[in-house]
A and B are shown apart, each in its own frame.
Chain A
Amino acid sequence: MSEAEAVPLRYDEFLEAALSRIGGLLKGHYGISRRAVGLLLLQGDPQMEREVKKRDAASYSLLQEIVSQARAHYNQPLSYVIALRRQQEARRLVSAVVTLRGKRRPGFAEWLSRAMMHPVSGSLILLLVLYFGLYQFVGVFGAGVVVDFIEGTVFGEWVNPWVTELVRGFIPFQVLQDLFVGDYGVITLGLSYAFAIILPIVATFFLVFSIIEDSGYLPRLAMLIDRVFKAIGLSGRAVIPMVLGFGCDTMATIVTRTQETRRERIITTLLLALAIPCSAQLGVIFAILSGSGMALLIWAVTVALVLLLVGYLASKVIPGERASFYMEVPPLRLPKLTNILAKTYSRLQWYFVEVLPLFILASVLLWLGDLSGLFGLVIGGLEPLVKFIGLPPETAVVFLYGFFRRDFGAAGLYDLHSAGALMGVPLVVAAVTLTLFIPCIAQLLVMWKERGAKTALAIAAFIFPFAFLIGFVLNLILTRLGVSL
């Protein structure tokens, strides 16, 4: 065949007549053919309607009339009629050039795909992914081995002593020295938390998430979990922001944009803020609770129950359209290493650009608060609350950190635990309360931006007392039952 000639797809007589009438009326310049403009108009494309209103204002009402006449002529929506004709033509073309010879036997990928979607084997695979991907790799390796090395060796033995000496040598005033290297110093607290505790955990999580994402596992998980999510007013599609929330709730709150209805977006935002611990929190909690399997189990079950209960109640209270679930299930693929590294890198970059200034800001605010005595006042206010849920008063500081960043609070918890100040039941109660506790500043800001001030404040106002209430109830139950961990 010589050079292919563009033959327009012909529709039925009525549509063709409408198209040529529209074409005759269009005078403006669109950059695409008049036929294409006409087809978009007939399909009710809102963007093209605006364009035509602007560029062909004179004949716009006449054009509208042609479109509504065409709409009245067919029983189905015009977009459907047009799609049908296109599909027909596509099938004709395919049948002219493609022959199917029997069916290929499904290979290993297809077998694994079905195993992932089967209710029984799928649940087992989910547990394996959670255990190896999240617990072993992020929790034990990331938050354990790597954090120990960077915090203990790199910062503890090399960076901090060296910087402290440097600052003491250059800055004469104790107060200013403290700004950089004191208890709440920008370097000794802010930077060392960011690089020594948060970076390894977040990096290992994003690595695992990229592998899971690129393999095509997420749509299969979505399909598996859709029924459960329907009970909490969401659809299977919500697994993507929810799973991403285990990495960073702030990032996940932005991703809720991909959800269909406003109702789903609000419920997901609420649950992310309340019951999904971010990777830094998760890593630290795994690290401090790993000594006792029972403690970890109590924490996981409590948080999961809160998630389901609040989700269920929210789905009853929040009005709006019910979520519907549809998703393409792409074939399983072996992830490519370069893609995974590139993705992990760009996510980490986003995270640090967002996180580092806030860490430094938090350090400065804490330093200011400490200096002015305001800090002591807030801690004094928090102490009765903390005692109310059965925790030692020192933990009040941790909750104050939590205001600034979720992971910051978790990191503070890690410190307290290492110092031997927090053990047993109070440790579990603190872990649960801190997990549920108010979202960090960054997440609150993103909630504000994405959902509006009213929703963001309502969510925060609900979570603050609710987290302490759950902590109180859990403490009551555990002490009454005489549980020792």
Chain B
Amino acid sequence: MMELEEKAEELLETLWLGTEERNEESLPLENIAEAEKEPLSQLLKAGYIALSDDRVRLTERGRTIARNVVRRHRLAERLLVDVLGTGGMLTHEKACRFEHLLDRGLDESICALLGHPKICPHGKPIPPGKCCQLKRTPARKLVSSLSQLAQGQMGKVAYVYASESGKLQKLMAMGILPGAPITLIQSFPSYVFKVGETQFAVDKEIADSIYVRLVEPEDAGEIIEKELPEPGRKLRWRFGWWPRRK
């Protein structure tokens, strides 16, 4: 496969968003700026796009490539927000530059590191990769869904993925908001966790939608630092409920 330039990737991204998220099969040629004409010919030559009646559309091959570009872009956003903690300063440009550094293969390890996130920080879906179906997990994760934590593991809520607003309301009512300290107490037959000083029981579906940041970025100016664990700290309750004292 040929290396694509940044501009070319961006054009693919625009076309993909058009077809997948705005239901526009093609883009009029005149909407493409003069500066982007150069990548246009590169993409045409590679067979990723096709021209007809002065409109540009993605080919089948182009669609796959474009989908991966979008995936990398949104993963890059997640990485910037969840791990590097650039919360308020997240810009499209930053993520764009970052995205092009994520080669194929690398995006899979980052996806796993982030616990196979389903949405970008803007709430848009991240197209799932092969690794998401296999749920491959690395030895050390930075972000993980609550359902994948070990018993007794602690962290802070990174974000919540709720497809329906009703579910989001429930989670909000439980105080599950980004930054809240959270500890998994039990995972069978249902998930029991502690947020602040309160315990809750939820089913797998809800536990799947809560993402927990296991390490803190430097800039976390929040309280209860003392409770923060070493990453992957061993559980205090070894065999379920039976207390073990050192």
Bitwise, B168-192 to A at CB < 8 A (1) or not (0) is 1111101101111000011011101
Decide if A75 touches B241 in the complex (CB within 8 Å): no
Decide if A326 touches B172 in the complex (CB within 8 Å): no
Decide if B177 touches A224 in the complex (CB within 8 Å): no
Contacts of A222 in B (CB 8 A): 201
Decide if B201 touches A235 in the complex (CB within 8 Å): no
A-B CB contacts (within 8 Å), total count: 104
Given known contacts A84-B177, A114-B186, is B224 in contact with A100 (CB within 8 Å)?
A: yes
- In this complex, the member of A87, A103, A225 whose beta carbon has the largest number of chain B beta carbons within 10 angstroms is A87
- In this complex, the member of A79, A100, A117, A118 whose beta carbon has the largest number of chain B beta carbons within 10 angstroms is A117
Nearest CB of chain B from residue A241's CB, rounded to whole Å: 18
Given known contacts A83-B172, A103-B227, A227-B189, is B241 in contact with A114 (CB within 8 Å)?
A: yes
Decide if A87 touches B123 in the complex (CB within 8 Å): no
Question: Which 4 A/B pairs are nearest by Cβ-Cβ distance?
Answer: A114-B241, A95-B223, A223-B201, A325-B203
Given known contacts A235-B203, A328-B199, is B123 in contact with A76 (CB within 8 Å)?
A: yes
Decide if B189 touches A75 in the complex (CB within 8 Å): no
Residues of chain B having any CB pair with chain A under 8 Å: 121-124, 165, 167-172, 174-175, 177-180, 185-186, 188-190, 192, 198-203, 205-206, 222-224, 226-227, 237, 240-241, 243
Is there a chain B Cβ closer than 8 Å to A329's Cβ? yes
Decide if B240 touches A118 in the complex (CB within 8 Å): yes
Given known contacts A91-B222, A114-B186, A121-B241, is B123 in contact with A230 (CB within 8 Å)?
A: no
Is there a chain B Cβ closer than 8 Å to A471's Cβ? no
Choice from A98, A329, A330 contacting B192 with Cβ under 8 Å: A329
Choice from A88, A106, A115, A329 contacting B200 with Cβ under 8 Å: A329
Decide if A326 touches B201 in the complex (CB within 8 Å): yes
Contacts of A328 in B (CB 8 A): 174, 198-200
Contacts of B223 in A (CB 8 A): 91, 94-95, 98
Assembly CA distance A84 to B180 (angstroms): 10
- Size of the chain A interface, CB-CB below 8 angstroms: 43
| With A83-B177, A87-B180, A326-B174 already in contact, 12 other A-B pairs whose C-beta atoms are closer than 8 Å | A75-B124, A79-B172, A87-B175, A114-B186, A114-B240, A115-B241, A226-B201, A324-B170, A324-B205, A326-B200, A327-B201, A328-B198
Contact residues, A70-122 vs B (CB, 8 A): 75-77, 79-80, 83-84, 87-88, 91, 94-95, 98, 100, 102-103, 106, 111, 114-115, 117-119, 121
Contacts of B203 in A (CB 8 A): 226, 230, 235-236, 324-326
Contacts of B172 in A (CB 8 A): 79-80, 83
Chain B, residue nearest A325 (CB): B203
Chain A, residue nearest B188 (CB): A119
Contacts of A75 in B (CB 8 A): 121-124
Assembly CA distance A76 to B171 (angstroms): 14
Is there a chain B Cβ closer than 8 Å to A233's Cβ? no
Choice from B165, B174, B190, B227 contacting A325 with Cβ under 8 Å: B190
Is there a chain B Cβ closer than 8 Å to A219's Cβ? yes
Decide if A329 touches B177 in the complex (CB within 8 Å): no
Instruction: Identify 9 residue pairs between A and B in the complex whose beta-carbon atoms are under 8 Å apart, listed by A's number.
Output: A91-B223, A100-B226, A222-B201, A223-B190, A226-B203, A325-B202, A326-B174, A326-B200, A326-B203
Given known contacts A76-B123, A79-B172, A83-B172, is B199 in contact with A329 (CB within 8 Å)?
A: yes
Decide if A326 touches B178 in the complex (CB within 8 Å): no
Chain A, residue nearest B239 (CB): A118
Assembly CA distance A303 to B237 (angstroms): 38
Contacts of A111 in B (CB 8 A): 241, 243
Nearest CB of chain B from residue A125's CB, rounded to whole Å: 11
Contacts of A227 in B (CB 8 A): 189-190
Chain A, residue nearest B124 (CB): A75
Contacts of B199 in A (CB 8 A): 328-331
Assembly CA distance A77 to B163 (angstroms): 12
Assembly CA distance A48 to B246 (angstroms): 56
Nearest CB of chain A from residue B59's CB, rounded to whole Å: 31
Chain A, residue nearest B203 (CB): A325
Contacts of A326 in B (CB 8 A): 170-171, 174, 200-203, 206
Decide if B190 touches A226 in the complex (CB within 8 Å): yes
Nearest CB of chain B from residue A269's CB, rounded to whole Å: 22
Decide if A91 touches B200 in the complex (CB within 8 Å): no
Contacts of A223 in B (CB 8 A): 189-190, 192, 201
Assembly CA distance A264 to B199 (angstroms): 25
Assembly CA distance A87 to B124 (angstroms): 24
Contacts of B168 in A (CB 8 A): 77, 80
